[in-house]
Every structure is written in C-alpha cells, then in structure tokens.
Structure 1
C-alpha cells in the first residue's frame, strides 16, 4: 500500500508518502539538502517495504509539495529540519523508527540521535560526515549548477534550465553506476514539476541557520549505527566516513564500490537494502 498526503507539521505542511503496512517497524528516509523525496527511488522504497518495513519518505520544507519560503530568506535552522523529521513520525503516530539519512539528511539523523535517542531504533548514515564536517569539503568543478550543454549558471526559474541543472549536478557528483541521462531527465522533470519554487529549493537549505553542533556528543549515540559511503564520493570524500565511524561507538562502515555522492543507484540496491534491513534488525546497545 502506498499513500501520499499533506500533513501539518511544526506549523507548516509537509508532503509525506508511505509504503507498506503501518504495523511494521517504521523506517524513515531523510533526504539530503535541496532534495525532495523523489530522489528516494519508488522501487527502492517498495523493496524496503517488501522486507517488512513501514517505509516513510517526505519532502523537506522548501522542496517538492511541502511549504516553501522566500528564496534567500529561510526563517528556520537545521534544528527545525530535524524537528520536521520527528514531526512526520508524530503525524503518523510513530514513536520510534529506524532512521536512514543521506548527506545533510545524515547530519539531521545524527542530531535526532543525540537529542532524542528514545525515538531512534537504528541509524543508517549514507554519503555524509560529522556535523560540522571533520574535514574541508570537496567541491567538484562547476558545482554551481551549470548545464552540460551551456557554460552558464542554472536559471532555476526556467523549467528546462532547472532540469538541465539537476541532471548536470547528479552526473557530476555520481559515478559509473549513476542512472543514464534519460532516466535522470525523467526524475528531474518530476522534481521540478512537483516543486513550488525551485530557486528557494536550491538555495534555502544551504544558507539556513545552524543549530548547536553535535559532533562532540556523537560518542553518546547508543543506537546501532551503519555508515554506507561511496568510494568515489567527490563531496564527502572517504576520510569523512572514517572520521564519522570513529566518533560513534560500535559504528560499522561499509563501502559502496564505484558509488559517488548520490542516492543509491540501482546497481547497489541489493547491497544497500540488505545492509539496511540487517541494521534495522540489530538490537539497540544498552544505555
């Protein structure tokens, strides 16, 4: 069973979609910055649900169908983004969940794990780093959003330019297993057509206020933690994953060979799903 609905969360509306049976253990997918839930592939979500999980994905504020704010002036912080994730669980009457966070979504999951440990059954942190990052970030060439066909910045107010920009970014940050350009264009079209304001979507998460750092509290995480990281990630390079693993007691680091900074490409779904399902079956460490 798949359902998509608008839900009141923290004074705004978030678009939420679920897969599977509500009675199964909940698994919350937290996307990266400027990423709507569309980037969690439909079939990927269905396969997780088929393993006996109630899979939840949602549009962050300023992405997809969720509430949008003026571009360049987000009235929220990353703490609010983390509270949104908890608000989604509250709206679905879910007390505890397995959290799967990618990139900035992984940092939000870390914040939840240290601030609200009683809400977390397990953590899977993908393509992410400590918060703040332990090392300088790597910015691949043209990361401002220039398209492959035109050497100019993306105009997020223009549909074609926005689609080109999303495709270009995915290809630049990905690896040999990244979806082909036609698949990426179909996904980008869906993202653009579902999003209220692409300029806000591609701006506000990167400039919103930062809450208190949690890196010095990661040693207190008791939830079983899995770190999945692409060997070819050009943004959070492998040392970020190693540093994160060293900060969280008992964390396991699993490398995804040939994967860049991206949502799991189909070529590694079997590995990623097996790892997530196995992680979701591990017992929480004693406090």
Structure 2
C-alpha cells in the first residue's frame, strides 16, 4: 500500500446544501473514485480519523468526510429542538454530492450513518457505485428476529448517566470517553486517542451540546423489506463484540442484501473502526470500491 502519510487533506469548506450549511473535507485526488463517509449519531467528521482517510486516499480514492447537522461547523439547531428528520439527513448526503459536483459515489456509513447509507442505496440507487455498512443493522436493536443488545447496555439505557457540562471541554471529552468504553468490545479503549478526537470535535463545534439532538430525531421509514433491491457491491463490516448490534445483525444484512460480503472485525465493539482493525478495514473497502 502507498505511503498514506504523504496524503494531506484539503482545507475544510462549508457548502450550501438546500437550507443548511455542511462542512466537508476531502483527501486525495479528485480524479480518483469518490468515497463519501457518513458518520453515526453525535459524531462530527473528526471521528473519521485523518490516518484512516489518508490510507484510503493513498490507495487511489477521493475521500470525503463531513459534519452532519448539529455537529462540527455545520448548521446547528436549538439544543433539544432539532427541526429536521432522518429523511433530511438522507437528503443532506445526496445534496452534498451535488454541491461538490460529484456523480455516483462509493458510500460508507457507520451506525446511524449505516442506516442512512442503506436508505440512500434503496431510495437513490443512481447515486451509489458501492455500499459499505459498518456497525449497523437492518432493523435496529428491538427487532424480534435479531439478537438483543447486551444486558450491560440494557442497564445503561435504563439508568442513563447525567449529561455532561457541554460548555466544559474536559466534561465533554469524559462523556465521549465513557460512551466509547460502554460500547467497546475486547479491543482496549485507547484513552489518548479518544481524548484527541473528542477534543478536536469540541474545538470545532460552536455548540457542542447540539450533537445530542441526534437522539431526538424522528422519521425514517424501515427499508428492510427493500434491502433485496440493492444492486451495488456491498460490504458489511462488523465487530464480533458489538454489544448494541450483535454480529447476528451483520449476518442478516449480508443475507438480505444480494451478494453482500461480511467481514467480521475481531474484538471490535459498536464503534468507529479503531486502528487495530485498519489492516482489515482498508483493504476490504478498497476491494469493494474497485
């Protein structure tokens, strides 16, 4: 693989997408096939780490990450009152491709972003060249035919922790660090790494508390009955120790999306792929986007 350290990101840019502004950043050569990265709930684009994006770019891909609404430098809403739905977040992804002048793209979504990516593949098939679904599910944690979340997470949701002091950088970092530990698998949580990412996200977010709005978003119909319509190369990446969506969720995705390939990530929980699995993740994405 090429030397990813030589790939420097472009400057961040804020683009108008319909009625909102979205902050995006690209890595690599625009002439290469484009990969659009869609993050999970509460996650600014900082959680798509520089080195991961650079590795993909060094393999000959034009990699775009962006802040979804209420994260980073994108449009924010009053805390506790998000004036948008999951369908609006879906439209944002399509609109961002238009705003950047990109045609069909390879789409990679994680967790909530994985649901958006599935919906994009079903509702806008002409905009996808391939699909990669990470740490996500075809039906969610309450699907009766899929494995339930771990008892530890059930207890956590029944007794939620107090919200952080969103104005205090250290309090917000501790909030994300606690979340990473709660959803992690057997791979140890790298506290220094999570502190670096969460701190950068805090520093880039004028209203850090707005990220919690993602847990209040409504809308977004189930597209599970239509997964069989997806007709692009599909890769399913999933942690073997995911406590929210046990591996059975990934197995269901791989069955229900025609010819999908499942790549288990050993020891990973419900999280953005950590560096420990990049040697598996990067070649798998490169192959799926070939």
1:212 positional shift? 2.4
1:142 positional shift? 3.8
2:112 to 97, 104, 128: 104
Contact residue 233 and residue 259 of structure 2 kept, 8 A: yes
Which structure 1 segments of 5+ residues have no match?
147-151, 282-287
1:232 to 241, 248, 263: 241
Q: How does 1:203-222 map to 2 (within 5 A)?
A: 204-222=213-231
Partner deviation per Cα, 1:37-78 (whole Å, 9 max, x = no partner): 000110110010000000000000001111100112111111
Q: How does 1:55-74 map to 2 (within 5 A)?
A: 55-74=63-82
Distance 1:153 1:65 in 2: 22
1:157 positional shift? 3.5
Contact residue 145 and residue 166 of structure 1 kept, 8 A: no
Instruction: Find the counterpart in structure 2 of residue 180 from structure 1.
Output: 190
Question: In the alignment, does 2:84 pair up with 1:76?
Answer: yes
**SS of aligned partner of 2:262:** strand
Instruction: Find the counterpart in structure 1 of residue 167 from structure 2.
Output: 157
2:58 to 19, 43, 50: 50
Q: How does 1:11-50 map to 2 (within 5 A)?
A: 11-50=19-58
Distance 1:120 1:51, change over 3 A: same
Partner deviation per Cα, 1:235-277 (whole Å, 9 max, x = no partner): 1111111122221111111100011111111111111000000
Question: In the alignment, does 2:9 pair up with 1:2?
Answer: yes
Partner deviation per Cα, 1:123-159 (whole Å, 9 max, x = no partner): 110000014553454536546774xxxxx54233332
Distance 1:145 1:195, change over 3 A: farther
**SS of aligned partner of 2:22:** strand
Partner deviation per Cα, 1:75-106 (whole Å, 9 max, x = no partner): 11111111111111111111100011000100
Distance 2:31 2:155 in 1: 46
Distance 2:42 2:123 in 1: 23
Instruction: Find the counterpart in structure 2 of residue 270 from structure 1.
Output: 279
Contact residue 36 and residue 60 of structure 1 kept, 8 A: yes
What is the RMSD computed on CA atoms of the aligned residues? 1.7
**SS of aligned partner of 2:250:** helix
Instruction: Find the counterpart in structure 1 of residue 211 from structure 2.
Output: 201
User: In the comparison of the two structures, how many residue pairs are matched?
Assistant: 275
**SS of aligned partner of 1:2:** coil
Distance 1:265 1:140, change over 3 A: farther
Task: Give the ranges of 4+ consecutive aligned residues of structure 1 lying more than 6 Å apart after TM superposition.
Answer: none
**SS of aligned partner of 2:106:** strand
Instruction: Find the counterpart in structure 1 of residue 3 from structure 2.
Output: none
Contact residue 32 and residue 61 of structure 2 kept, 8 A: yes
**Length-normalised TM-score, structure 1:** 0.91
